[in-house]
Amino acid sequence: MELKIEGEYEMSKKRIVLAYSGGLDTSVAIGWIGEQTGAEVIAVAVDVGQGGEDLEVIRQRALDCGAVEAYVADAKEEFASEYCMPALQANALYQDKYPLVSAISRPLIVKHLVRAARQFGADTMAHGCTGKGNDQVRFEVSFTSMAPDLSCISPVRDLALTRDVAIEYGQEHQLPIETTKHNPFSIDQNVWGRAVETGFLEDLWNAPTKDVYTYTDDPTYPPLPDELVISFEKGIPVAIDGNLMNPLQIIQELNTRAGAQGIGRIDIVEDRLVGIKSREIYEAPGAIALIEAHRELENVTIEREQARFKRQVDRRWAELVYDAQWFSPLKKSLDAFIKDTQTYVTGDIRLQLHGGRATVTGRRSESSLYDFNLATYETGDTFDQSYAKGFIEIYGLPAKLAAARDVKFGHGVDFGIGNL
């Protein structure tokens, strides 16, 4: 992260780096922050695979809106390898459903903001989140961890940049940005998935309409089943059907193929860190297919006790990342545990994608712990069943002692079958 400041900068004025999306709110924020604080604004846009506009177009728009500098970063591969892959290795699903799409992108965006702040001599960072969501916490707690010397402002929350103000400001200053188009939803998307909220979805009884979805087709009328083999090395997918690919390419390919089958649509009432329950719709076809495959390969290759413990660690990891703790010491320690568990998670998983589901239909691994001869009920059985009798006798001893004591104290042994 050590970056030298290049060239001479006019340092008489304060400089603020703004997490810039290219949309109305953050475009207006450039001028708004300037007016409210007197500072110069440096816009930072980070491509985490959200699709849409070209980075150069976004860069130019930031400058046209009054930014003194605009920094754009193609972080797609970095995001896939360093943020999506750890989430996959943790089988990360918050509340057993949400694959942390937005939660894992914020720490990376912050990393690029800090880099730009150092490069352009800024001492303050800004984001465009509201005061009701998780993302403000993720931005600001990550800032604290990465750059405790920098301060932070939140124009939407703290400088009263409401939507009405933004539209009016944009029109008044003739900013090169659409101010009339009204999207009923608040959307955040990247290569790991897509999050949609607000609008009529705020009524929990309203079913999502077709226009909510863009990453997935309707699974009700799916095309023919699609079968593929995903190869993993130490918990990282490295090939599909034998074709070597990097993590970004693998996620993208699965977004297309699993998306065509309507896999990864999620409708959930979620517990936000700020205490609010909120309705969210997600689409994460690639993430859900990959987690399904990865989890099954773990079932084959991870020792039982390690696997049982890992399920608890996975859950905790997802909660920490959801709760803005990406850079926290506990998350770092859990990372080390998870990495260690992946040593033997190498092998192939065959998946069938069809009608909204990714189903594992085959597994093979050189490092498998599955022993056919131990498991088989056919000839070739090497499991000596005579050992089971003694094992159960000793294993059941504590239960036996407790039951005998109950009898002694007259507490009976009525387990709902009546005292016989």
Q: Give the residue ranges of the annotated binding site for ATP.
A: 19-27, 128
Is 134 a residue that touches ligand ARG (CB under 6 A)?
A: yes
Taking the CA atoms of 301, 304, 306 and 310 in sequence, report the sign of the dihedral they define.
positive
Is 214 a residue that touches ligand ARG (CB under 6 A)?
A: no
Residue whose CB is less far from ligand ARG, 127 or 310: 127
Shortest distance in whole angstroms from residue 349 CB to ligand ARG:
27
Residue whose CB is less far from ligand ARG, 47 or 188: 188
Q: Interface with ligand ARG by CB under 6 A: which range of 181-189, 215-223, 237-245, 299-307?
A: 181-189
Q: State how far the Cα of 378 lies from the Cα of 380, in Å rounded to an integer.
A: 6
Is 135 part of the annotated catalytic residue set? yes
Residue of 54, 186, 241, 371 marked active site: 186
Shortest distance in whole angstroms from residue 373 CB to ligand ARG:
46
Is 137 a residue that touches ligand ARG (CB under 6 A)?
A: no
Shortest distance in whole angstroms from residue 266 CB to ligand ARG:
11
Q: State how far the Cα of 409 lies from the Cα of 238, in Å rounded to an integer.
A: 62
Is 188 a residue that touches ligand ARG (CB under 6 A)?
A: yes
CB atoms within 10 A of CB 378: 8
Is 103 a residue that touches ligand ARG (CB under 6 A)?
A: yes
In terms of DSSP bridges, do strands 124-126 and 151-153 run parallel, antiparallel, or are they unpaired?
A: parallel
Residue of 59, 106, 115, 257 marked active site: 106
Is 106 part of the annotated catalytic residue set? yes
Shortest distance in whole angstroms from residue 101 CB to ligand ARG:
7
Is 102 a residue that touches ligand ARG (CB under 6 A)?
A: yes
Taking the CA atoms of 170, 174, 178 and 179 in sequence, report the sign of the dihedral they define.
positive
Q: Interface with ligand ARG by CB under 6 A: which range of 151-159, 184-192, 288-296, 353-361?
A: 184-192
Element (H, E) at 114: helix 101-120
Taking the CA atoms of 109, 57, 24 and 18 in sequence, report the sign of the dihedral they define.
positive
Give residues with Cβ within 8 angstroms of 365, minimum separation 6. Answer: 297, 300, 301, 344, 346, 347, 348
Q: State how far the Cα of 135 lies from the Cα of 129, in Å rounded to an integer.
A: 6
Is 123 part of the annotated catalytic residue set? no
Q: State how far the Cα of 85 lies from the Cα of 20, in Å rounded to an integer.
A: 25
Helices of type H across 14-74: 24-37, 55-64
Is 318 a residue that touches ligand ARG (CB under 6 A)?
A: no
Q: Interface with ligand ARG by CB under 6 A: which range of 7-15, 36-44, 187-195, 218-226?
A: 187-195
Q: State how far the Cα of 293 lies from the Cα of 349, in Å rounded to an integer.
A: 6
Residue of 25, 188, 314, 323 marked active site: 25
Residue of 47, 135, 314, 348 marked active site: 135
List the one residue out of 314, 278, 68 whose CA is nearest residue 185: 278
**Contact with ligand ARG (CB under 6 A): which of 62, 116, 195, 266?**
195
Question: What one-character-per-residue DSSP string does 363-374 give?
Answer: EE-TT----HHH
Is 290 a residue that touches ligand ARG (CB under 6 A)?
A: no
Residue whose CB is less far from ligand ARG, 186 or 214: 186
- Across the beta sheet with 40-47, the strand order is 69-74, 40-47, 15-19, 124-126, 151-153
**Contact with ligand ARG (CB under 6 A): which of 171, 186, 209, 373?**
186
Number of residues in contact with ligand ARG, rule: CB under 6 A? 11
**Binding-site annotation: residue ranges:** 19-27, 98, 128, 130, 134-135, 138, 186, 270, 282
Q: State how far the Cα of 219 lies from the Cα of 260, in Å rounded to an integer.
A: 8
Q: Interface with ligand ARG by CB under 6 A: which range of 67-75, 182-190, 287-295, 299-307?
A: 182-190
Is 307 a residue that touches ligand ARG (CB under 6 A)?
A: no
Shortest distance in whole angstroms from residue 104 CB to ligand ARG:
9
Q: State how far the Cα of 84 lies from the Cα of 104, in Å rounded to an integer.
A: 7
Written as one letter, the residue type at 419 is N
Residue 239 — φ and ψ, nearest 5°?
Answer: -155, 150
CA atoms within 13 A on the CB side of 183: 13
Is 280 a residue that touches ligand ARG (CB under 6 A)?
A: yes
Residue whose CB is less far from ligand ARG, 278 or 341: 278
Is 197 a residue that touches ligand ARG (CB under 6 A)?
A: yes
Is 340 part of the annotated catalytic residue set? no
Q: State how far the Cα of 195 lies from the Cα of 283, in Å rounded to an integer.
A: 7
Catalytic residues: 25, 106, 135, 186
Q: Which residues bind ligand ARG (CB under 6 A)?
A: 102-103, 134-135, 186-188, 195, 197, 270, 280
